[in-house]
């Protein structure tokens, strides 16, 4: 529900959780995470010390996910196994940062299904551009749904992911002018489509892009996931 929070624990890359000067002896780079907020009442109830979090995809730290994302939280070496999930759900939802619903016991098979499922997502994005918007060129944004989007691995994640091309599609896109240089975009994209790069072009690594179509560089992006679609769902 908030920006600036990772989905899983982000251990310090230098000390791997032990604590050092770089992380100010905290062992991690961010105070908390979605995983830690959800795991806290579980660890207390099961008398366990740690968990493993398996989510269907994830978002950037500066993005919010305002729809419910399927996930499995695996409690490692629980001492107590009979727990009240409704009570735990209420405890988690006291947080102002994370909300869960419909908790139930599951199996390891569900983890595999989550990891390999292809589920499209709809994003609501506020974009501020460097120059004044050219209203006549805005209609060209619709062309993004007519051809595959070619994306090389984004520069921002290139240090930890292989540099390769991928083809993804924009299923639906619409926009609303919010100001002379500000635009609201509603984008439904195929699983794996990098939305920020679809907008910025990522120095030419994503083609076509909104920056390219509008001939206008991006100054700032605010991104929310507003819908995680179920398989076979139509986009009305």
Give the pLDDT confidence score for residue 103 in this predicted structure: 97
Instruction: Provide φ and ψ at 83, rounded to 5°.
Output: -130, 160
Q: What is the pLDDT of residue 232?
A: 52
Per-residue model confidence (pLDDT) at position 235 = 40
Confidence (pLDDT) at 122: 98
Whether 60 is catalytic is: yes
pTM above 0.85, yes or no: yes
List the chain residues with pLDDT less than 50. Answer: 233, 235-236
Choose, from 60, 109, 215, 224, the residue flagged as catalytic. Answer: 60
Q: What are the C-alpha distances in Å from 98 to residues 4, 38, 48, 54, 114? A: 12, 8, 21, 16, 20
């Amino acid at each position: 529900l908030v920006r600036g929070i990772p989905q899983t624990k982000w251990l310090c890359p230098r000390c791997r959780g032990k604590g050092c000067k770089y992380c100010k002896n905290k062992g991690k780079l961010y105070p908390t995470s979605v995983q830690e907020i959800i795991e806290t009442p579980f660890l207390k109830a099961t008398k366990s010390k740690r968990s493993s979090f398996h989510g269907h995809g994830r978002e950037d730290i500066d993005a919010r996910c305002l729809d419910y994302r399927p996930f499995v939280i695996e409690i490692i070496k629980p001492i107590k196994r009979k727990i009240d999930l409704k009570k735990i759900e209420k405890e988690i939802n006291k947080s102002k940062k994370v909300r869960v619903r419909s908790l139930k016991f599951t199996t390891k098979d569900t983890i595999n299904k989550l990891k390999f499922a292809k589920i499209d997502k709809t994003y609501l994005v506020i974009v501020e551009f460097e120059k004044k918007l050219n209203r006549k060129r805005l209609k060209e944004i619709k062309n993004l749904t007519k051809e595959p989007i070619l994306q090389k691995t984004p520069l921002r994640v290139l240090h930890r992911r292989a540099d390769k091309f991928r083809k993804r599609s924009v299923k639906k896109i619409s926009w609303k002018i919010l100001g002379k240089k500000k635009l609201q975009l509603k984008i439904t994209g195929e699983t794996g489509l990098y939305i920020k790069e679809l907008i910025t072009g990522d120095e030419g690594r994503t083609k076509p892009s909104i920056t390219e179509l509008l001939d206008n560089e991006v100054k700032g992006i605010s991104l929310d996931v507003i819908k995680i679609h179920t398989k076979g769902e139509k986009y009305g």
